[in-house]
Structure 1
Amino acid sequence: MKNNPELINNQINEYCKINIITCILIGVRMGWVYLVGASIAEIFFALSLKYNEGFTKLIPSIVTAVTGAGSFGLLILAIKTLPLGTAYAIWTGVGAAGIAIAGIFLFKESIDIYRLASIALIIIGVVGLKIFSNE
């Protein structure tokens, strides 16, 4: 039996009359929610690479596998409704900026003005992509 889009929309509208909070959350666009989750998982994935020491430590290696798969899985869900270029750029940008900031705090990496300006430019680019996205 094929899905009838009109029937599905009617069912959603009826559901939303009953459960408005869920519908507001769905209205935020689940693609963006998935993309935020994918970006956060990407940061933990990159961090776990530092700690697994070439996959010689079990727990960090498991974290690497789980967060890597989770990040890709959530990105796949996000690009079902978001433009691929926008989603991928935001995913990589948030991951890059997040891991750079984590490196400053966790690994005492340099905090020179050029590094901070570069991180700021990545963040500005990510925000710009979100603001000017059609979604």
Structure 2
Amino acid sequence: MNWIYLLLAGCFEVGFTFCIGKTKESVAPVSYYWYVGFLISLAFGMWLLIKATQTLPIGTSYAIFTGIGAVGTVLVGIFVFNEPATFMRMFFITTLILSIIGLKIASH
């Protein structure tokens, strides 16, 4: 169950970075909704990370949490914010995904 908490925490990290991106594109009062979304995503993400680290190693948990956030944020940037999907970006995202899988396999 704690791995599910960790996966969800990483998804909420993607959520709060998405909200950061949307605040750049918005003006008040709409931008305030994105700020609230940021705070809610941040709170849930941290709460789920805390729940996951109650039984999982903190080093592995945090690395996976930030890895999911990094991969998800780059993908959101590509698909939502029209950032470039260059070969090098995709190559390093792939190596990051493989590293996340490796940490999961190496954890007890």
1:19-58 alignment to 2 at 5 Å? 30-53=1-24, 57-58=31-32
* TM-score normalized with structure 2 length: 0.92
1:39 & 1:120 partners in 2: Cα distance?
17
Instruction: Look up the equivalent residue of 1:68 and give its one-letter code.
Output: L
**Does the CA contact (< 8 Å) of 1:35 and 1:78 recur in 2?**
yes
Which residue of the other structure, out of 65, 71, 75, is the alignment partner of 1:97? Answer: 71
- Share of identical aligned residues, percent? 36
TM-score (norm 1): 0.74
Q: Which runs of 5+ in 2 are unaligned?
A: none
Q: RCO higher in 1 or 2 (8 Å CA, sep ≥ 6)? A: 2
Matches for 1:7-26 after TM superposition, within 5 Å: none
Does 1:76 find its partner at 2:50? yes
RMSD: 1.5
Runs of 4+ residues deviating >2 angstroms: 52-56
CA separation in 2, counterparts of 1:110 and 1:37?
26
In 2, are the aligned partners of 1:55 and 1:61 still within 8 Å (CA)? no
Structure index of larger Rg: 1
Question: Per-residue displacement from partner, 1:38-65 (whole Å, max 9, x unpaired)?
Answer: 0110000110011124995221111000
Query: What residue ranges of structure 1 are gaps of 5+ in the alignment?
Result: 1-29
Residues 61-104 of structure 1, C-alpha deviation per residue, up to 9 Å, x if partnerless?
11000000110010001000100000000000010001101111
